[in-house]
């Protein structure tokens, strides 16, 4: 279809299989029309892709190969392809299911910097990963995941279904149809290997883009902003540290959520999740498997849309460092909002509860004494050292007097020196020359 050509109301497409009812919009690679399938009467979306230029043959070959793969996808989270072929003008067309709802970028735009709740971002991501797991399993890499290509379908049941759209620049792995030097994708969400135009871009590029989408969901903006020249954005994706979404998020985020986002966004594809299934399992473990009933706010009130899943008790355990080797200690969630993360294949990992553990460590006690009636000696307050010395001196004098009277003979009394006061509570001993019995009345009255 040429730039000037249009498809008018009532026009037939695909040898009369579809009738155009109106125009829905226009994208970078063509226009989208509302149409009716003549055989069944169902309404569909017809995407028409212009063919021309030096790469026309390559485009047609890629389109036909990908269309055949798309036709085999059955995930409820992938827009369903009904038919494909050539228009009467020789352009490519694809008939897709007609969706009712809103694209995620519109929802995020209306929410502004408030963003979605963490559980909403997890719900969106897990549904996207269901779509990607099937597509990746058949060798199809999307390469342009972004909020605008994620459509929230309102089925009237309260829980929108996320549909992945626009595999228009996707490539079939190992097909050789995308050569090195071709940079395809949306810059704000492109993986480092896409920026470098590496011919070996694989399914892990989609996981990077999804990590960027998750960051955008909870913060209201992409992890790296495109305010300056495009090379600055490229440099950020290639070299800049992965930002912590908690610095901008208006809703509590757990350490587990941040860890998943950072793992997905690792610069090195080898440091990301192995595949879509592994990332989805990590998210399911994070929210306790309750994602399916977590609605995404189409009324632009993300904070009121869901209740954050909770565990029965807050669990405090060691957090796993992120892929870059950094350790995050900050926790925002409330005690009953501690989440469990079991992303490791060989061990179960949880993340710290959001408040310090208030259980005091028990101080070791001295061994039990054999004398049952002995009273413990309590360490005095620091503010009264003179009173303490007076009490000690009196006790020593009384003990010495009792000893002299009980023996009926004068005995030398060693000079009394105060016993040293230890910082911890310890018994106070009498001088070595004279045993220190308890201060009490003598057993027999002294002789007159």
Name the residues annotated as catalytic.
144
Backbone angles phi, psi at 141, to 5 degrees: -110, 130
Among candidate residues 414, 416, 415, 418, the one with its CA nearest the CA of residue 389: 418
Give the bridge partners for 103, in sequence order: 151
- Kindly report each contact of residues 286-289 with a partner whose C-beta sits within 8 Å and lies 24 or more positions away, as own/partner: 286/122, 286/254, 286/256, 286/257, 286/260, 286/339, 286/340, 286/341, 287/119, 287/122, 287/339, 288/339, 288/340
Tell me the C-alpha distance between 19 and 392, whole Å: 107
Burial 233-248 (b: 16+ CB within 10 A, else e): bbebbeeeebbbbbee
Tell me the C-alpha distance between 336 and 338, whole Å: 6
For residue 61, give the DSSP letter.
Answer: H
Give the bridge partners for 84, in sequence order: 94
Tell me the C-alpha distance between 163 and 224, whole Å: 25
Q: Is the Cα torsion angle 113, 116, 121, 127 positive or negative in sign?
A: negative
By three-state DSSP, how is residue 349 classified? coil
Q: How far apart are the first and last CA of the chain?
A: 132
């Amino acid at each position: 279809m040429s730039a000037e050509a249009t498809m008018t109301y009532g026009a037939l497409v695909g040898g009369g299989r579809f009738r155009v009812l109106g125009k829905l919009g226009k994208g970078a690679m063509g226009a989208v029309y509302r149409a009716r399938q003549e055989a069944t009467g169902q309404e569909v979306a017809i995407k028409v892709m212009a063919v021309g230029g030096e790469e026309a043959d390559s485009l047609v070959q890629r389109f036909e190969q990908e269309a055949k793969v798309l036709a085999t996808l059955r995930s409820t989270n992938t827009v369903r392809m009904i038919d494909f072929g050539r228009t009467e003008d020789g352009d490519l067309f694809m008939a897709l299911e007609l969706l009712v709802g809103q694209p995620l970028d519109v929802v995020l735009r209306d929410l502004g910097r408030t963003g979605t709740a963490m559980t909403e971002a997890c719900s969106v991501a897990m549904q996207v990963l269901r779509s990607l797991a099937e597509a990746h399993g058949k060798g199809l890499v999307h390469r342009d995941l972004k909020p605008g290509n994620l459509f929230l379908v309102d089925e009237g049941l309260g829980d929108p279904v996320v549909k992945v759209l626009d595999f228009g620049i996707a490539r079939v792995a190992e097909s050789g149809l995308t050569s090195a030097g071709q940079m395809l994708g949306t810059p704000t969400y492109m993986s480092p290997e896409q920026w470098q135009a590496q011919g070996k871009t694989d399914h892990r590029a989609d996981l990077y883009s999804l990590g960027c989408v998750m960051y955008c969901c909870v913060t209201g903006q992409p992890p790296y902003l495109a305010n300056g020249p495009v090379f600055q954005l490229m440099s950020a994706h290639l070299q800049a540290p992965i930002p912590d979404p908690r610095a901008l998020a208006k809703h509590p985020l757990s350490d587990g959520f941040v860890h998943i986002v950072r793992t997905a966004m690792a610069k090195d594809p080898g440091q990301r999740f192995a595949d879509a299934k592994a990332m989805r399992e990590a998210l399911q473990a994070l929210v306790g498997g309750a994602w399916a009933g977590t609605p995404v706010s189409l009324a632009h009130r993300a904070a009121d849309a869901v209740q954050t899943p909770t565990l029965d008790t807050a669990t405090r355990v060691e957090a796993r460092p992120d892929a870059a080797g950094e350790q995050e200690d900050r926790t925002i969630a409330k005690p009953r909002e501690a989440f469990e993360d079991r992303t490791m294949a060989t061990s179960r990992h949880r993340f710290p509860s959001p408040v310090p553990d208030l259980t005091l460590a028990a101080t070791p006690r001295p061994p039990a004494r054999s004398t049952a009636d002995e009273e413990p000696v309590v360490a005095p307050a620091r503010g009264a050292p003179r009173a303490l010395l007076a009490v000690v001196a009196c006790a020593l004098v009384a003990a010495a007097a009792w000893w002299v009277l009980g023996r009926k003979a004068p005995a030398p009394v060693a000079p009394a020196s105060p016993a040293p006061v230890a910082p911890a509570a310890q018994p106070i001993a009498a001088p070595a020359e004279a045993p220190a019995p308890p201060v009490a009345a003598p057993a027999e009255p002294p002789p007159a």
